[in-house]
């Protein structure tokens, strides 16, 4: 079996990189190899390739067979182009110096393409970042405009509420100045409170009323009426001067004698008439 130029897998799951090796075709993929030629990492853009150019060209000239992936890598790095030019020199198609100039021109063109690709990727990344920034700035501006609008609406509503409150206060003050304060509702409220308290108290048992003696009350009233003129006479006596007391006493005695004699006279005249 001839020698093969192939890839040996390394790295963790879903993040693999490969070694470019020259190994026996009967050996397993990740098993024993003859010589390591480079490293291939497809996780970057563009892919990272590290290759020993001279060793790879030497193995190709010896008859080593590359796999499809390794052949693409060798073509990308110019190993196959160099081999093609060396076969032309051996056949005498052109000189070795011309082969070197052709290879240099090819490598320069290849590097320009690679650099253009890198620049294009960088520009694409920058454009993507700028677009995202513009979109985010637009969103932030829209949010700021909405917030300002809401704040202005809230401020207008607050101003309107304040004006309404001021108007209500003015009307209340005008009403309080014009209309007197009604005290009756307060008195009614107090009376209702007292009634509610009395209603909450337990009902007292009715007390049996004793009959009132009317006759003693009537007698007491007559006694009081009799005492009143006497009291008036006493007051009048007190008010009269001392010099007139004797004359009044004498006049009273005369009046008593006349009163005693008057019934007698009337009785005598009645007897005479009957006779």
φ/ψ (deg, to 5) at 12: -90, 180
d(CA 218, CA 227): 14
**CATH code of the domain occupying 3-93:** 3.30.1320.10
Provide the whole-model pTM.
Answer: 0.49
Long-range interactions of 150-158: CB distance < 8 A, separation 24+: none
Domain boundaries, the chain: 3-93
Query: Cβ–Cβ contacts within 10 Å for residue 64, how many?
Result: 20
- Which tens digits make up the pLDDT trace of 65-87? 999 999 999 999 999 999 999 98
In angstroms, the CA 127 to CA 143 distance is 24
Beta bridge partners of 48: 41
pLDDT in tens, 181-237: 444 555 566 667 666 666 655 545 444 455 444 444 445 555 555 555 555 555 555
Query: Both ends of the chain: CA-CA distance in Å?
Result: 206
Query: Per the structure block, which two tokens stand in for 164?
Result: 């309404």
Structure tokens at 31: 């098993």
């Amino acid at each position: 079996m001839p020698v093969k130029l192939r890839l040996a897998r390394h790295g963790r799951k879903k993040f693999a990189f490969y070694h470019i090796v020259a190994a026996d075709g009967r050996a397993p993929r990740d098993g024993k190899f003859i010589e390591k030629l480079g490293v291939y990492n497809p996780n970057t853009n563009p892919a990272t390739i590290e290759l020993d150019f001279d060793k790879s060209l030497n193995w190709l000239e010896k008859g080593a067979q590359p796999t499809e992936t390794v052949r693409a890598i060798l073509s990308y790095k110019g190993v196959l182009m160099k081999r093609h030019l060396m076969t032309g020199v051996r056949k005498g198609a052109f000189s070795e110096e011309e082969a070197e100039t052709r290879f240099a021109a090819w490598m320069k063109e290849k590097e320009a393409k690679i650099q253009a690709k890198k620049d294009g990727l960088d520009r694409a990344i920058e454009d993507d970042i700028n677009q995202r920034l513009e979109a985010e700035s637009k969103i932030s501006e829209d949010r700021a405009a909405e917030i300002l609008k809401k704040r202005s609406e809230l401020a207008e509503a607050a101003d309107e509420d304040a004006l309404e409150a001021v108007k209500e206060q003015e009307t209340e003050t005008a009403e309080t100045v014009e209309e007197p304060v009604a005290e009756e509702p307060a008195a009614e409220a107090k009376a209702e409170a007292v009634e509610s308290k009395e209603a909450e108290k337990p009902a007292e048992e009715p007390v049996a009323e004793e009959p009132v003696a009317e006759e003693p009350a009537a007698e007491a009233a007559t006694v009081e009426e009799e005492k009143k003129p006497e009291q008036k006479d006493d007051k009048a006596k007190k008010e009269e001067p001392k010099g007139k007391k004797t004359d009044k006493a004498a006049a009273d005695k005369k009046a008593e004698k006349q009163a005693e004699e008057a019934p007698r006279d009337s009785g005598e005249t009645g007897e005479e008439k009957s006779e």
